[in-house]
Structure 1
Amino acid sequence: MKDTASWRAIQKVLENGESIDLKHFRPVRPLGSGDTGSVHLVELLGTGEYFAMKAMDKSVMLNRNKVHRATAERQILDMLDHPFLPTLYASFQTKTHICLIVDYCAGGELFMLLDRQPMKVLKEDAVRFYAAEVVTALEYLHCQGIIYRDLKPENILLHRDGHISLTDFDLSCLTSCRPQVFLPHDIDKKKKRRKSRSNPIFFAEPMRASNSFVGTEEYIAPEIITGAGHTSAVDWWALGILLYEMLYGYTPFRGKTRQRTFANILHKDIRFPASIQVSLAARQLIYRLLHRDPANRLGSYEGAMEIKQHPFFRGINWALVRAATPPELEAPLQDTLEATLPPPAADGAHTDMF
């Protein structure tokens, strides 16, 4: 969000007539690495404000033909202003790297939080909390014409206050979007049945289809595998997989090999083990999100609104989701910042990160 202490600290540097670059940051520790670069925890010198710096190696991106993805990710990040999505505070280049400065989420990955829980599952109230925030974030992205395409626990980060932030937009697709408002009688005419809902429905989903084969294999929607062309409905499929994993501890279509996983996604019936107690509403929501035909998948017709109105989310105050109290967890959230900070360096001191 662009009204925080971190944002103001960056703006103060800019107001002094300086351009943000590598010399303004003190490296603290590496946070991770990927196929085109690495992520570091950094401090804006002299401020006590911490950020994550994603550094992408130019030569690697050129060799792997991924420059367009870095460009798209920066463009997408620059569009975002939402509590459950990252803020792009600055971007710059060195001779060897393209650097993006975004929020540091001290709670770590949802993946690691799940891994610390008994049986690697969450109670249903916790699943509902995290899923509601994911739905809200995806709704905002879709309104901007962005198909996320990489929803998974590793890409859901947690702030120290327990709320989420989606990360990694290098696989995302920016398309066009035409927001619409449907009146209840419009919906009735199309579906040929009466509806008790009386409020207008806001609908905004990306319009153009993509044929790119992208995503994490256990979360990939069937239409991506078949190459039939895909829309934002792939994000709602991934939400169904995420819900299943949070409730059961594993994904529903995982196979011993990549090809077996894809075959399962295309042909295997979804099963809900009786060994773990999950409500009927949760199972029904997952079932409707994991419909292989994207045209009949929940969310493909009325977007996020369709999902928000499902009985699983009954009791959620969508207007105040960002103010909701995070759930109590059997293995609580860990603050990864305080325990790992080294002694501060003198102003102007800089250690190479690359």
Structure 2
Amino acid sequence: MSNKAMEDGSPNNSPSSIDFGSSRGTVSDITSVGSSKISDECFVDKQVDLKNGHEVHSSSINGGGGSGSDSCLRSVFPSKPHKGNDPRWEAVQCVQGRDGQLGLGHFRLLKKLGFGDIGSVYLAELRGTECLFAMKVMDKGTLVSRKKVVRAQTEKDILALLDHPFLPTLYSHIETAKFSCLLMEFCSGGDLHMLRQRQPGKHFSEDSARFYASEVLLALEYLHMMGVVYRDLKPENVLVREDGHIMLSDFDLSLRCFVRPTLIDGSSSTISSYCVESSSCKLPACAQPSCFQPSSCFKPRFLNSKANNQVRGEKSTPAGLDNSLPVLVAEPTTARSMSFVGTHEYLAPEIIRGDGHGSAVDWWTFGVFLYELLHGKTPFKGSNNRETLFNIAGKSLKFPEGSTASSSARDLIRGLLAKDPQKRLGFKRGATEIKQHPFFQRLNCALIRSTAPPQIPKPVDLTSLHRAMKPSNFPSKDDGKEPGSYLDFEFF
């Protein structure tokens, strides 16, 4: 978990009102006092259902009181299909069956993993099982005083929805008089920002970047299908599991919205064409500098295959695609928010301009994310946060001299970093469009979990952890007393 900082502090969401003192901090829209973030305490993120004409709040504001859904969250979540064989589910359910309720006393803290804007994350061991978890601990009083209750509730609600190989599993939600704790899976490989720093030249090879980007793309596709706009994609929030595959983290800035998954006719769907490298193309459509042409020399592979088949007189459909089959589109295109949220270097132009934004911000951040994986830096970074925002809003995309990124990688990034969200790749059909780009043509997304990851982390040595660190111990039973006297928690 990365250390987030800086938020919009004015009701009009003007970029000039932001404190630009920190670099690569996160901006958000809920005011707090005495912290590294500033925001408007009266602002609640709203989503607008354009078809029905009414607004819906992402979560209710309360001081930690219990609703019907909260009472369900306090118990252990039922096993989810993608985690059906996870031994941690069995361990948690065994404790619950034996003691009736999972409490803080069943865990001991081995290590502080990191901290964010609404809490700290610890490596926690379930006593007697050697099962490791990541426990996010949030102080209720701090959440209330810093006006972060809504964000904490939003993250909890979203985590409870998720069941996907590249997204977190929420095993349980534990409440005490003082603390709210989320029990999630522990990722032993750290995050992609740390992993990138260890690569030659501090950037990934294109094959490695393609692997990580494809898994992030599938995670974003699922989130959008569930009516969640992520809004905080960056390498620091992409964790590496023990098997080398990824997991997105941190959902407190996410936007809940309406989505209506739709099947469309695959043969009639219109897919944009892209020019990979206009300098090498002699067609009239590519004579202009812009590579985002409605008709160009380089079309997605299945369109080229179709054209080639027609030239050869073949009647077969393109390899890997049957145009007679329907295509699933689950992009929340009606989602709208006026919040100023995200990380400075990853903010989309429409957020900076205050135009309001929707799901297309995730495809902008995906383009910045891929650029950073390939080049070791973000494309619009300035000497300070103010300059960075000016660059995003007004500066053209450029690639570093000597960049080894392929023409297809550059073309994908150009399509994702279109400053007009309505011209951005993925705006209409989301991940369905992006997966058809030639950059991903050698990758079978359906079998990505069977693909060998670029790197596999070393297994965690519990014996060394126990020997090297004095664990923070919870009481044997959560007796309901004020826990502040015996919990050795550090916040922020």
TM-score, normalised relative to structure 2: 0.67
The one-character-per-residue Cα deviations of 1:318-349 (angstroms, maximum 9, x if unpaired) are: 11112211125xxx74555558521498x987
Structure 1 segments (4+ residues) deviating >3 Å: 188-197, 332-340, 347-351
Identity fraction in percent? 48
The one-character-per-residue Cα deviations of 1:252-292 (angstroms, maximum 9, x if unpaired) are: 01111211111100111111123231100000000000001
Q: 2:465 aligns with which of 335, 341, 345?
A: 341
Partner of 1:91: 173
Asked whether the 8 Å contact 1:108–1:336 carries over to 2, the reply is no
Report the secondary structure of 2:95's partner residue: helix
Q: Supply the distance in 2 between the matched residues of 1:310 and 1:322 (Cα, whole angstroms).
A: 20
Q: Supply the distance in 1 between the matched residues of 2:463 and 2:265 (Cα, whole angstroms).
A: 53
Q: Supply the distance in 1 between the matched residues of 2:88 and 2:164 (Cα, whole angstroms).
A: 15
2:342 is the alignment partner of 1:215: yes
Partner of 1:183: 265
Letter of the 2:206 counterpart: E
Letter of the 2:487 counterpart: D
Partner of 2:233: 151
Report the secondary structure of 2:413's partner residue: helix
Structure 2 portions without partners, runs of 5+ = 1-81, 274-293, 307-320, 477-485
Partner of 1:259: 386
Structure 1 portions without partners, runs of 5+ = none
Q: Supply the distance in 2 between the matched residues of 1:205 and 1:143 (Cα, whole angstroms).
A: 6
Q: 1:117 aligns with which of 171, 184, 199?
A: 199
The one-character-per-residue Cα deviations of 1:182-223 (angstroms, maximum 9, x if unpaired) are: 103442499999964613211001232111111111011111
Letter of the 1:324 counterpart: T
The one-character-per-residue Cα deviations of 1:137-179 (angstroms, maximum 9, x if unpaired) are: 0001000000001000000000111000000000011111100
RMSD (Å), alpha carbons: 2.4
2:328 is the alignment partner of 1:202: yes
Partner of 1:277: 404
Partner of 2:487: 352
Q: Supply the distance in 2 between the matched residues of 1:246 and 1:189 (Cα, whole angstroms).
A: 26
2:430 is the alignment partner of 1:303: yes
Report the secondary structure of 2:182's partner residue: strand
Asked whether the 8 Å contact 1:91–1:101 carries over to 2, the reply is yes
Q: 1:238 aligns with which of 346, 355, 365?
A: 365
Report the secondary structure of 1:275's partner residue: coil
Partner of 1:227: 354
Compared with structure 1, are the counterparts of its residues 163 and 72 closer, same or farther at alpha carbon in structure 2 (3 Å cutoff)?
same
Partner of 2:210: 128
Deviation at 1:244, TM superposition (A): 0.5
Deviates more, 1:12-21 or 1:100-109: 12-21
Deviation at 1:302, TM superposition (A): 1.2
Letter of the 2:340 counterpart: F
Asked whether the 8 Å contact 1:107–1:336 carries over to 2, the reply is no
TM-score, normalised relative to structure 1: 0.93
Query: What is the 5 A alignment of 1:138-177?
Result: 138-177=220-259
Letter of the 2:466 counterpart: P
Letter of the 2:89 counterpart: W
Select the structure that is richer in helix.
Answer: 1
Deviates more, 1:20-29 or 1:131-140: 20-29
Asked whether the 8 Å contact 1:39–1:55 carries over to 2, the reply is yes
Partner of 1:44: 126
Q: Supply the distance in 2 between the matched residues of 1:337 and 1:246 (Cα, whole angstroms).
A: 29
Partner of 2:75: none
Deviates more, 1:222-231 or 1:8-17: 8-17
Compared with structure 1, are the counterparts of its residues 320 and 264 closer, same or farther at alpha carbon in structure 2 (3 Å cutoff)?
same
The one-character-per-residue Cα deviations of 1:46-94 (angstroms, maximum 9, x if unpaired) are: 1110000001121221122110111110000000011100000011122
Letter of the 1:224 counterpart: I
Report the secondary structure of 1:284's partner residue: helix
Deviation at 1:26, TM superposition (A): 1.1
Deviation at 1:95, TM superposition (A): 2.4
Q: Supply the distance in 2 between the matched residues of 1:189 and 1:239 (Cα, whole angstroms).
A: 19
Q: Supply the distance in 2 between the matched residues of 1:137 and 1:72 (Cα, whole angstroms).
A: 18
